């Protein structure tokens, strides 16, 4: 996933975040900023929870090595829409979960045949005045 920041000095840029390898510090940051436990991350991401996005942004900035200390107030005071999350369906980490085998269906001859599977497109969440939307 990529966190993109526009118009928030000094953090302007694009930052990679491998959400498959969280540290204890990362989990604590998410708990402090968003009040979420690990079992709540998926739902928060699907809803576009702003505090969750801020927590992920802080983690990505820290991991970039450019900002060992992130000024949370600068991010909180930024205008809505200045931080976006580009989510791509990728395997988790280098040794992440094994790839799923293609689904098989019986063909007219009785032997299984793989079904077509396409990679889902990336999701970009953009905050709006009333919530989050996909452009």
Q: CA-CA distance, 128 to 119, in Å (whole number)?
A: 27
Q: What is the pLDDT of residue 24?
A: 96
98 within some domain: no
- Which phi and psi angles does 44 have, rounded to 5°? -65, -40
pLDDT tier, 130 (very low <50, low <70, confident <90, very high otherwise): very low
Q: How many domains does the chain have?
A: 1
113 within some domain: no
21 within some domain: yes
Q: What is the pLDDT of residue 15?
A: 96
108 within some domain: no
112 within some domain: no
CA neighbours closer than 13 Å in the CB half-sphere of residue 19: 20
Model-level pTM? 0.66
43 within some domain: yes
Range of the domain at 19: 2-92+118-133
How far CA 93 is from CA of 17, 62, 102, in Å, comes to 11, 19, 21
Q: What is the pLDDT of residue 60?
A: 96
111 within some domain: no
In the beta sheet, which residues pair with residue 66?
none
Q: What is the pLDDT of residue 35?
A: 97
Q: Are strands 131-133 and 123-128 parallel, antiparallel or unpaired?
A: antiparallel
Q: CA-CA distance, 30 to 69, in Å (whole number)?
A: 15
- Encoded tokens for 9: 């000095």
Q: What is the mean pLDDT of the chain?
A: 77
H-run or E-run covering 44: helix 41-47
């Amino acid at each position: 996933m990529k966190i993109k920041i526009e118009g928030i000095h000094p953090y302007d840029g694009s930052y990679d975040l491998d959400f498959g390898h969280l540290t204890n510090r990362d989990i604590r940051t998410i708990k402090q900023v968003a009040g979420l436990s690990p079992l709540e991350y998926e739902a928060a991401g699907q809803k576009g929870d702003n505090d969750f996005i801020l927590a992920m942004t802080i983690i990505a900035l820290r991991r970039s090595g450019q900002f060992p200390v992130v000024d949370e107030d600068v991010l909180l005071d930024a205008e809505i829409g200045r931080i976006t999350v580009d989510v791509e369906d990728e395997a988790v980490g280098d040794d992440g979960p094994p790839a799923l085998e293609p689904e098989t269906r019986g063909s007219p001859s009785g032997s299984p045949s793989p079904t077509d599977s396409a990679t889902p497109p990336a999701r970009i969440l953009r905050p709006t005045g009333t919530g989050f939307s996909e452009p």
